[in-house]
Structure 1
């Protein structure tokens, strides 16, 4: 089923040009503060971790420094784990779940693992509660050479020295009701294509890599999260967001060919979390806790097999 649902920018069937992107940008409103809600929490971690500024988004008149947190006791003989959040700025628990992990759990891995953590990859979008960056580009389709998204390019450069050494990468996301009400219609309008309505799953799920799915790893993460919040069931077609459910709460995508963040290293274990914050069965606190639990379970599984 397709629909030419009205979107207030552009002409149906015609991709956006610079004028439409400029109009879209003019409509974006700051709703929250990256400095107050994210950077202030990162600053509190400086006594325990090394904080690295790995880039700056110069989106005049705004300027957004990009921060990563590294283990202070980094050792070349220890396995390295990459945790990323806020690739899509509107996915709140992706950011605050990372911060909760750092505040409450990361110290447990001191002397056991090297942690490299980027809590908020897309701060401009975080403030505007949006999926895209300032140029109407989705960073999570842009993790490739010569990326058109500054956010993606900066993270690729940060990770490059450890690309071959990362053992596990977990990227924290959400699936929200606004995916259907705003972001998919906007995507269809931007690309001049018909909108294809989908179904939002109620619950937590994971997106593994179809080229290297690591099913035991995925199920270990699902089992840990199931103790905190509910796992999304398959729909009537046996799918979640159009992909076949291969195990409870798990689907697979070809992450590299899609330019997804989960494909930026050669990690043996990689996954993308998806929390559903709009569920009547989940609170914001549960969503953050589920993300943090997923990170711990992913590290624990990989560490036990390092």
Structure 2
């Protein structure tokens, strides 16, 4: 079906002028300072707080921040947690902060933590999937990335003094994926928009290049205690991908240049919370992200 997005011409890729028009249509809807930076700085007594970059659109307003275990022990495996790669996916950001504040300390004798609560702060403020240049950061984790958000994160991870053992990338699948973001993607790329279905519930994306069924199951079982798991559709799929076990699909993370594949961690997952369900609220969504992380950590602690 053809979807006439308000920017651009149907079946014609966007020009630079179209991208500028899109950028100028965005507006600030919430505060990165109040909702992310201040909570990060309040954790400075238990984490080392570091700036690893800044967005060129406004380096003062959008510093890129990471929390690292203050009591770093070189012999422990390192866990990378990322949220807000897509800025509009709120529980990815707030769930990472909640885990850092309330739960990480229970595991500090087992793991070192590197926590990036908000990879895309401009996207967080304007509640959008893309960065200011109409680029999806979560398709941009490759050499010479055009996404500053992705490039800075890759450089920070590469500079760590250790390999990443586990990487948990916290996301959401929202109704706005179908009402706004996928239509915008089709318009930007000059393609026809094909409507999809939004799954009602939590699911994960495993790495098809190095799958770990047991890790994903541990995550699903943990989250099940907090919120409902997304069912498969009539084709036994979730968002067009085959369900390999309850609530789990697979993508080739590295080949698709996705965040969860950037570190090459043996154990990785992308979490997907559904915040638009009538069965949940924002607190429940944040708790689901924490439950996903804890389920993964409990599984990994048994492998050591």
Q: Tell me if both proteins adopt one fold, taking TM over 0.5 as the criterion.
A: yes
Q: Which residue of 1 aligns with 2:55?
A: 57
Deviation sequence 1:24-46 (CA, Å, 0-9, x none): 00000100000001111001100
Q: Which residue of 2 aligns with 1:123?
A: 121
User: How high is the TM-score relative to the length of structure 2?
Assistant: 0.98
- Kindly indicate whether residue 6 of structure 2 is the aligned counterpart of residue 8 of structure 1: yes
Question: Where in structure 2 are there 5+ consecutive unaligned residues?
Answer: none
- Count, aligned residues: 304
Question: Match for 1:146 among 136, 144, 147?
Answer: 144
Give secondary structure in 2 for the equivalent of 1:63.
Answer: coil
Q: Could you tell me how far apart the structure 1 residues matched to 2:285 and 2:277 are?
A: 10
Q: Which residue of 2 aligns with 1:88?
A: 86
Q: Once the 2 structures are TM-superposed, how far is the Cα of residue 60 of structure 1 from its aligned partner?
A: 4.3
- Kindly indicate whether residue 42 of structure 2 is the aligned counterpart of residue 44 of structure 1: yes
Q: Could you tell me how far apart the structure 1 residues matched to 2:51 and 2:99 are?
A: 20
User: How high is the TM-score relative to the length of structure 1?
Assistant: 0.97
Question: Match for 1:201 among 186, 199, 202?
Answer: 199
Q: Which residue of 2 aligns with 1:111?
A: 109
Question: Where in structure 1 are there 5+ consecutive unaligned residues?
Answer: none
Q: Which residue of 1 aligns with 2:216?
A: 218
Q: Which residue of 2 aligns with 1:302?
A: 300
Give secondary structure in 1 for the equivalent of 2:66.
Answer: strand
Bigger drift between 68-77 and 243-252 goes to: 68-77
Q: Could you tell me how far apart the structure 1 residues matched to 2:59 and 2:297 are?
A: 39
Give secondary structure in 2 for the equivalent of 1:58.
Answer: coil
> Is 1:171–1:272's contact at 8 Å kept on the other side of the alignment?
yes
Q: Could you tell me how far apart the structure 1 residues matched to 2:199 and 2:302 are?
A: 32
Q: Which residue of 2 aligns with 1:156?
A: 154
Q: Which residue of 2 aligns with 1:78?
A: 76
Q: Could you tell me how far apart the structure 2 residues matched to 1:237 and 1:158 are?
A: 40
- Kindly indicate whether residue 19 of structure 2 is the aligned counterpart of residue 21 of structure 1: yes
The two structures, once aligned, show a CA RMSD in angstroms of 1.2
> Is 1:83–1:98's contact at 8 Å kept on the other side of the alignment?
yes
